[in-house]
Chain A
Amino acid sequence: MNEFQVIDSVMPDVPPPSADQLAAARERVLAATQVPPVSMARAGERSWTGMALVAAAVALVVGAVVAFVPRPVVEPVAVTPMQKLEAAAVRLAATPEAKGRYWRRDTEHVMRTKNGYGYKVEERAMEVLAFGPNREVYGWHEPVSSKPYTAEGLKAWRRDGSPKLCPARGCDKNMPAYSSVDLDLGLELADGLKPTLTELRSLPKDPAALRARLLESYNPQVAAEREPWLEGAASRLITSPATPGTRAAAYLLLANAPGIKVVDDIPGTFGLDGLALQYKAGQVVGQIVIDRRTGQLLGRQWLAPEGVDYGAEIVRKAGWSDVRPVPPTKCVRCTARL
């Protein structure tokens, strides 16, 4: 225990505010933020009582003359997608984490494709990635279902004799699940950057500091371009067991990266509804979708050039617990060591 921790543990603490106290403080502070007050910056010198008296006096005067003067035009405060992302990132960074020995992420993969059939099929699979306390890593991909997804596709499938579509559960009894690509990557964020879990968890929570720390591992001999390398690392970071603060910083790092913009109007075919970090990869548009309220990562989706979303990875759950992951039976090489 260092000297600061001694002071923190020895000196008396303050009980948390009651719900009523918190509500009163929230009301008091947020009421003031509804006034467009930039020109009143000097009001910081005034006491709250003074402000209240001034406000009351203004209200009386305005009330007296309101019938004779036009209503003042209050310019709406613009809230850009970037500002919304900032707010979401603040919320994420302040989110406490559950405790546990295992970190696990369950992602549902959805892909709309013609695949080998003559009609459109929606394939679904579950992918799990987990890390344990003794450098163990678990990762598997389990096909779930393949179904025709449009009225035309359904008709074509029926015309075809309603065959069982694969990949799906039960298609391959010898290998119902197989090792995921992420298992091999483990905690690797980019070429030449493979932190341990401890190192990952201690990455900076500030975008500028995070950028600087990541770039310490950048090697132009290994990766040709620095910014794409950095974007790749940041985009792996947001799906990793990094702390909420680091993941929030990675959002902002991505949001300010060249070629990435924040958008707040995305197609919701797969149920993803949130802010998105949008980027182009060739003809395809990728969207990293973030919950506006909590800042948590909801998933990713891909849009065809005409703007139709055709594939998604939906985060079903992610976090820490004491439950050891158990790969499906017959899952070969679905566990490894970092």
Chain B
Amino acid sequence: MRANKGVITAPDVFEAVFEAHYEEIRRYIGRRLDPDVAEDLAAETFLIAFRQRERFDSAVGGVRPWLYGIATNLIGRHRRAEVRRYRAMARTGPPPDDEGHDQRIVDRLSASVTVDRLAGALARLSKGERDVVLLIAYGGLGYDEVAAALRIASGTVASRLSRARTKLREVLG
């Protein structure tokens, strides 16, 4: 959802932004880092967003890309932890699935892709490539939204994706 420059100034408007997007931002962070730090960093994302609300510019993109951009910057501060997590998964497989959801297991099998191999491939991506891939995969952002979130050109998104696809090809087929 877009808003004009500077319109996210009133607390109740910001509250609506929090209610609408907190859970998805927390989920995005939790999937990239660790569920234990997701609460803290998701809250930090919104605190930063509120402090920087005067800088929000709808001409650059909507509220979602803006929040995902802030969250991605925070994740960047924990880049080593993220890569360590993928490498650990590559060695040991995924952590226990708290949901225990049968459908997810079916999905995983049907995809014919194992978590350990995919985690290993994600660990081999550069930070920029991983940001682009996971903003699309986890956040469901479009290419233009990724460009707005990361404040990079659409062409840069495309070239990072191209490189990432090449690196992921042996896993994803």
Contacts and interface: CB of A to CB of B under 8 A. Distances in A.
B163 interface: no
Which secondary structure characterizes the binding site on chain A?
Answer: helix
Interface string B150-173: 000000000000000100100010
Contacts of B17: 87, 90
Interface residues of B, number: 66
A1 B38 CA distance: 28
Main secondary structure of the interface of B (DSSP, over half): helix
B111 A10 contact: yes
Interface in A14-49: 14-17, 21-22, 24-26, 28-30, 32-34, 37-38, 40-41, 43-44, 48
Interface string A65-105: 00000000000011110111011111101100000000000
B107 A10 contact: yes
Given A14-B27, A83-B7, A8 B137 contact: yes
B12 A79 contact: yes
Contacts of A6: 111, 113, 118, 172
**Max chain B CB contacts within 10 Å: which of A14, A28, A84?**
A14
Given A7-B118, A91-B16, A205 B104 contact: no
Nearest to B114: A10
Contact of B1 (A4, A44, A205): A205
B63 interface: yes
Interface in B66-123: 89, 94-95, 97-99, 104, 107-108, 111, 113-115, 118-119, 122
Contact of A10 (B43, B62, B115): B115
Nearest to A27: B43
A206 B52 contact: no
Nearest to B26: A17
A90 to B, nearest CB: 5
Interface residues of A, number: 58
B47 A32 contact: yes
Contact of A94 (B21, B35, B39, B89): B21
A245 interface: yes
Given A7-B137, A83-B13, A94-B21, A252 B2 contact: yes
Nearest to A42: B51
A208 interface: yes
A29 B18 CA distance: 8
Nearest to A32: B47
A80 B18 CA distance: 19
B11 A82 contact: no
A249 interface: yes
B62 A206 contact: yes
A4 B133 contact: yes
B27 A87 contact: no
A77 B9 contact: yes
B42 A25 contact: yes
Contacts of A10: 107-108, 111, 113-115, 118
A78 B16 CA distance: 16
A222 interface: no
Contact of B115 (A1, A12, A22, A86): A12
A93 B11 CA distance: 19
Contacts of A37: 50-51
A90 B7 contact: no
Contacts of B89: 12
Nearest to A8: B137
Contacts of A8: 137-138
A233 B119 CA distance: 47
Interface in B34-56: 35, 38-40, 42-44, 46-48, 50-52, 54-55
Interface in B131-153: 133-134, 136-138
A2 B55 CA distance: 35
Given A3-B172, A14-B35, A48 B13 contact: no
B63 A207 contact: no
A22 B42 CA distance: 11
A11 B27 contact: no
A9 interface: yes
The 10 A-B pairs with the shortest beta carbon distances in the complex, nearest first, are: A14-B30, A94-B20, A87-B16, A7-B137, A4-B137, A9-B107, A15-B98, A44-B51, A79-B10, A87-B13
26 contacts: A3-B165, A6-B111, A7-B118, A7-B172, A9-B111, A10-B111, A11-B94, A11-B118, A12-B115, A13-B99, A15-B35, A17-B23, A22-B22, A25-B39, A29-B22, A32-B47, A40-B51, A79-B13, A83-B13, A86-B8, A87-B15, A87-B17, A88-B16, A90-B63, A245-B1, A252-B1
